[in-house]
Chains A and B, each alone.
Chain A
Amino acid sequence: MIAGTVTGYFLLGQNPAVGSAHGKAQRLGMANLDWLVVRDLFLVESATFWQDSPEIETGEIVPEECRTEVFFLPAASHVEKAGTFTQTQRLLQWREQAVEPEEDCRSELWFFYHLGRLVRERLAASTERRDRPVLDLVWDYPTHGETEEPSAEDVLREINGFQVADGSPLSSYTELRKDGSTAAGCWIYTGVYADGVNQAARRKPRGEQDQVASEWGWAWPANRRILYNRASADPEGRPWSERKRYVEWDEDQRRWVGPDVPDFEVDKPPSYRPSKGASGVEAIAGDDPFVMQGDGKAWLFAPVGLIDGPMPTHYEPAESPFRNRLHGQQANPTRKSYEGLNNVTNPSPPEERSEVFPHIFTTSRLTEHHTAGGMSRYVGYLAELQPEMFVEVSPQLAAEIGLEHLGWCHLVTSRSAVEGRVVVTDRLRPLRIDGRVVHQVWLPYHWGQGGLTSGDAANDLVGIALDPNVLIQESKVGTCDVRPGRRPRGPDLTAYVHDYRQRAGIAEGHEIPFVTAADEAGRS
């Protein structure tokens, strides 16, 4: 976005101005769009960055000149719409609509259905080849009520899949055919609408079924509660022990049985061995439980596919006060970074001047707030429980640099400076590493300029460094300076941070070395 190659942005319940690494880069990126759509319960910072972000104070964003056209659309909350929750257990649980959304609040389903409908209306007369995919889509969801809300159950039925000829729902992904006679939105969900019944809406009490509770909601795939459950039996198909009895081979019935849906071809005996040259499912032997792997075996590491694999090793974070003690390579050499686009990295050994940022900071969450605060800082009962941005420090660090409990302090990195009230606690302890003591500080990242309680956003401190495989931001550790008192404001803040950059030798044109050689400090 900063480079201008991305020109539009939909934000649905996300608040990157507060919740993503390097808040300033996020906001400057959003200020360089043609359009931005924010759908949220409240006017979160990502919707108001153009008028009240920290960059307004510093003059880096000027409301009258900001080119981004921002559309804020109020969202319906979870009690105002029907649909499913899916969690990390893979369980889909249906949620009923309790009340109608107020005023202009609408569900995401409503928004995308009607957006698609309007786009198709605009394109109806088009003969452009590029518009065919949009025009050829089946987009015929029936709506109901005054707000013309599409039926979420209807969408779930379509995701489940059906016979094209008569529309009857499929009950298992094994019924899918590649000849066009069946259709499904997502194969792992096939079965959630088996027999035309919303299986995710099942709520049989635990007292009325076994401990697997197969009739509470529906788990993808195939309502299977534990994956690879053939591994609960030994190679011969017998339970490893009575206590671990789960899925086993029944010789009389010639099939796998148990309280859960077997994660194995149900009639493939433990004695099955693939013939030479067999491929696909047929190549999986009867004692190979890990059916999603090509060889049916459990893998301790992935031999191919990882950018920095296959075996794990230790790297220091992108910013660290210490040399990697394991080997000469300091930080992950394959990490993804965006140097230059407002993103600079504090120096780490073997680079010089890492002492300009002598302390370690880490961020995490408070129980009372939800991530970037969009669902909690705007709610009185939650905001009052954690009413202010604060920084936790050890008694030792407080004594060393003169911090007072409940006084102010600020943290400085090469990206920004962030202030908070000081909370001195024994929970934070100095670390002794490599023969010297280093202090760590902790701060929550829920605050921004909006809400019933406002404060600086901790993620403004963080640089952008991503892991090479799935691009997770390294937002939990960095180096910083900690100073007593509040941070400078307005243009003084920019100058203050710039001064730190100068002292650290990372002003314009600085490049961090991705590959570091073995030296005396780095054991190799």
Chain B
Amino acid sequence: MSRNSLFGPLDPAPDAGHADPPPRNGFFTDTSVCIGCKACEVACKEWNLLPADDAGSMDLLGLSYDNTGALGASSWRHVAFIEQPAPAAREPEFLGMPTSTLPGASPEHQRTELRWLMSSDVCKHCTHAACLDVCPTGSLFRTEFGTVVVQEDICNGCGYCVSACPYGVIDRREGDGRAWKCTLCYDRLKGDLQPACATACPTQSIQFGDLDELRERAARRVEDLHGAGVAEARLYGHDEDDGVGGDGAFFLLLDEPEVYGLPPDPVVTTRDLPAMWRRAALAGAAMAAATVAAFVRGRR
């Protein structure tokens, strides 16, 4: 086991034992062009034959136009609608002449209207995937594309992965008991097809490809947006030095991650396992030493 197997930058497919794997695949979800059509949600369910009406999904949630609520065992893409109110309640005012600058492009042109943040969330396919690390059956595995896939015919429903995921992505399906999540369309990748959600996305908000290329593209997109005055544009999950060694599925956001319901500083829950084992071993050794010492002393 290499030093980085639980933490830090790493190419996960060779680390998992794949000889000569293809480049690592992933998603770049550019939320600045998401129109909230939810075609990704429907295409994902169609292709992966997910149940439509799982527990509670026919409820009106009152979260703007989002009635999916969160990623789950039967929702592998989730489009969040975040309504941000106008900065301050104000009296009706003259709206001014049309300008060629984008709202918020300069301090004088701060956003004055309510806005929607729409974002299609998905499994992050972490470089260091805690779900995979804790799986006792081998149901979760690292593919040659560097993605993380759960096999429904092996999963025994123990649920360790559910509590291990730092993003709260993987979940057990009610009435089924097994754990389910995005496979990054492993079956489609095998057949040289793009994942269903990326294929259905009409605005290329969801981009699929080689992770290295996507990261370059994303960096350019952020530069472009900053140049156009969208100072709040930022990447999330692109950094190999973050707590999960970087995500295979990363995002361009227009506000803090917390606003989208994403953890600001996720850490792979198995990062500290070696240290914990070391401490446990130390504690065990100390106990043993103490016991031996007690007997030695007892002979006197």
Which residue from A385, A405, A453 sits with its C-beta under 8 Å from B38? A385
Contact A387:B58 (CB < 8 A) given known A367-B37, A425-B83, A426-B83: yes
User: Who on chain A is nearest to B74 by CB?
Assistant: A384
Which residue from A385, A425, A432 sits with its C-beta under 8 Å from B64? A425
Which residue from A367, A381, A382, A427 sits with its C-beta under 8 Å from B114? A427
Q: Which of chain B's residues have a CB closer than 8 A to the CB of A388?
A: 58-60
Which residue from B36, B46, B57 sits with its C-beta under 8 Å from A367? B36
Q: From residue 419 to 474 of chain A, which have CB atoms closer than 8 A to chain B?
A: 421, 423, 425-427, 432, 452-453
In the complex, B67 has a CB within 8 A of chain A: yes
In the complex the two chains form, is B68's CB within 8 Å of A385's CB? yes
In the complex the two chains form, is B60's CB within 8 Å of A390's CB? yes
In the complex, B158 has a CB within 8 A of chain A: no
Q: From residue 12 to 44 of chain B, which have CB atoms closer than 8 A to chain A?
A: 36-38, 41-42
Q: Which of chain B's residues have a CB closer than 8 A to the CB of A258?
A: none
In the complex, B62 has a CB within 8 A of chain A: yes
Q: Which of chain A's residues have a CB closer than 8 A to the CB of B57?
A: 384, 387
Q: Which of chain B's residues have a CB closer than 8 A to the CB of A423?
A: 60, 62
In the complex, A48 has a CB within 8 A of chain B: no
Which residue from B38, B60, B64, B85 sits with its C-beta under 8 Å from A421? B60
User: Who on chain B is nearest to A427 by CB?
Assistant: B114
Cα-based distance from A519 to B57 in the complex (angstroms): 55
Q: Which of chain B's residues have a CB closer than 8 A to the CB of A390?
A: 60
Contact A385:B59 (CB < 8 A) given known A425-B64, A426-B86: no
In the complex the two chains form, is A366's CB within 8 Å of B67's CB? no
Q: Which of chain B's residues have a CB closer than 8 A to the CB of A384?
A: 52-53, 57-58, 67-68
Contact A380:B59 (CB < 8 A) given known A385-B41, A385-B68, A426-B114: no
Cα-based distance from A400 to B60 in the complex (angstroms): 24
User: Nearest Cβ distance between residue A119 and chain B, in whole angstroms?
Assistant: 41
Cα-based distance from A406 to B61 in the complex (angstroms): 8
In the complex the two chains form, is B38's CB within 8 Å of A367's CB? yes
Map CB proximity to A onto B61-100 as digits: 1 under 8 Å, 0 otherwise.
0101101100000000000000101100000100000000
In the complex, A284 has a CB within 8 A of chain B: no
Q: Which of chain A's residues have a CB closer than 8 A to the CB of B172?
A: none
Q: From residue 335 to 391 of chain A, which have CB atoms closer than 8 A to chain B?
A: 366-368, 380-388, 390
Cα-based distance from A425 to B114 in the complex (angstroms): 10
Contact A387:B65 (CB < 8 A) given known A381-B42, A432-B92: no
User: Who on chain B is nearest to A420 by CB?
Assistant: B60
Q: Which of chain A's residues have a CB closer than 8 A to the CB of B38?
A: 367-368, 385
In the complex, B45 has a CB within 8 A of chain A: yes
Q: Among B37, B60, B68, B85, which residue has the most Cβ atoms of chain A within 10 A?
A: B60
Cα-based distance from A405 to B64 in the complex (angstroms): 11
In the complex the two chains form, is B36's CB within 8 Å of A427's CB? no
Q: Which of chain A's residues have a CB closer than 8 A to the CB of B85?
A: 426
User: Who on chain A is nearest to B43 by CB?
Assistant: A381
Which residue from B42, B62, B68 sits with its C-beta under 8 Å from A382? B42
Q: From residue 486 to 512 of chain A, which have CB atoms closer than 8 A to chain B?
A: none
Interface size on B, residues (CB 8 A): 23
In the complex the two chains form, is A381's CB within 8 Å of B62's CB? no
Cα-based distance from A425 to B41 in the complex (angstroms): 24
Q: Which of chain B's residues have a CB closer than 8 A to the CB of A421?
A: 60, 62
Cα-based distance from A382 to B46 in the complex (angstroms): 11
Which residue from A380, A406, A426, A453 sits with its C-beta under 8 Å from B62? A406
Q: Which of chain B's residues have a CB closer than 8 A to the CB of A406?
A: 60, 62
Q: Which of chain A's residues have a CB closer than 8 A to the CB of B68?
A: 384-385
In the complex the two chains form, is B62's CB within 8 Å of A405's CB? yes
In the complex the two chains form, is B83's CB within 8 Å of A387's CB? no
User: Nearest Cβ distance between residue A326 and chain B, in whole angstroms?
Assistant: 20
Q: Which of chain A's residues have a CB closer than 8 A to the CB of B65?
A: 366-367, 386
Which residue from A367, A381, A383, A387 sits with its C-beta under 8 Å from B45? A381
In the complex the two chains form, is B64's CB within 8 Å of A453's CB? no
User: Nearest Cβ distance between residue B214 and chain A, in whole angstroms?
Assistant: 23
User: Who on chain A is nearest to B84 by CB?
Assistant: A426
User: Nearest Cβ distance between residue A403 and chain B, in whole angstroms?
Assistant: 12
Q: Which of chain B's residues have a CB closer than 8 A to the CB of A387?
A: 57-60, 67
Map CB proximity to A onto B267-289 as digits: 1 under 8 Å, 0 otherwise.
00000000000000000000000
User: Who on chain A is nearest to B46 by CB?
Assistant: A381
Q: Which of chain B's residues have a CB closer than 8 A to the CB of A385?
A: 38, 41-42, 67-68
Q: Among B38, B62, B92, which residue has the most Cβ atoms of chain A within 10 A?
A: B62
Cα-based distance from A385 to B67 in the complex (angstroms): 6
Cα-based distance from A364 to B133 in the complex (angstroms): 49
Q: From residue 213 to 243 of chain A, which have CB atoms closer than 8 A to chain B?
A: none
Cα-based distance from A30 to B171 in the complex (angstroms): 49
In the complex the two chains form, is A380's CB within 8 Å of B92's CB? no
User: Who on chain A is nearest to B75 by CB?
Assistant: A384
Q: Which of chain B's residues have a CB closer than 8 A to the CB of A386?
A: 65, 67
User: Who on chain A is nearest to B89 by CB?
Assistant: A426
Q: Which of chain A's residues have a CB closer than 8 A to the CB of B46?
A: 381
In the complex the two chains form, is A427's CB within 8 Å of B92's CB? no
Q: Which of chain B's residues have a CB closer than 8 A to the CB of A425?
A: 64, 83
User: Nearest Cβ distance between residue B9 and chain A, in whole angstroms?
Assistant: 38
Q: Which of chain A's residues have a CB closer than 8 A to the CB of B41?
A: 381, 385
Cα-based distance from A387 to B92 in the complex (angstroms): 35
Contact A383:B86 (CB < 8 A) given known A405-B62, A421-B60: no
User: Nearest Cβ distance between residue B39 and chain A, in whole angstroms?
Assistant: 9
Cα-based distance from A384 to B38 in the complex (angstroms): 12
Q: Which of chain A's residues have a CB closer than 8 A to the CB of B52?
A: 380-381, 383-384
Cα-based distance from A458 to B55 in the complex (angstroms): 28
Q: Which of chain A's residues have a CB closer than 8 A to the CB of B86?
A: 426
In the complex the two chains form, is A380's CB within 8 Å of B37's CB? no
Cα-based distance from A385 to B45 in the complex (angstroms): 12
Q: Which of chain A's residues have a CB closer than 8 A to the CB of B59?
A: 387-388
User: Who on chain A is nearest to B66 by CB?
Assistant: A385
Map CB proximity to A onto B109-142 as digits: 1 under 8 Å, 0 otherwise.
0000010000000000000000000000000000
User: Who on chain A is nearest to B64 by CB?
Assistant: A425
User: Who on chain B is nearest to A426 by CB?
Assistant: B85
Map CB proximity to A onto B168-195 as digits: 1 under 8 Å, 0 otherwise.
0000000000000000000000000000
Q: Which of chain A's residues have a CB closer than 8 A to the CB of B53?
A: 380, 384, 452
Q: Which of chain B's residues have a CB closer than 8 A to the CB of A367?
A: 36-38, 65
User: Nearest Cβ distance between residue B223 and chain A, in whole angstroms?
Assistant: 28
Q: Among A380, A390, A432, which residue has the most Cβ atoms of chain B within 10 A?
A: A380
5 additional contacts (CB under 8 A) given A388-B58, A406-B62, A452-B53: A367-B37, A383-B58, A387-B60, A426-B86, A452-B58
> Which residues from chain A sit less than 8 Å from chain B, CB to CB?
366-368, 380-388, 390, 405-406, 421, 423, 425-427, 432, 452-453
Residue pairs across A and B with Cβ atoms less than 8 A apart, 9 shown, are A367-B37, A383-B58, A384-B52, A384-B53, A384-B67, A386-B67, A388-B58, A421-B60, A425-B64
Interface pairs A-B: 4 shortest CB-CB: A380-B52, A388-B60, A387-B58, A406-B62
> Which residues from chain B sit less than 8 Å from chain A, CB to CB?
36-38, 41-42, 45-46, 52-53, 57-60, 62, 64-65, 67-68, 83, 85-86, 92, 114
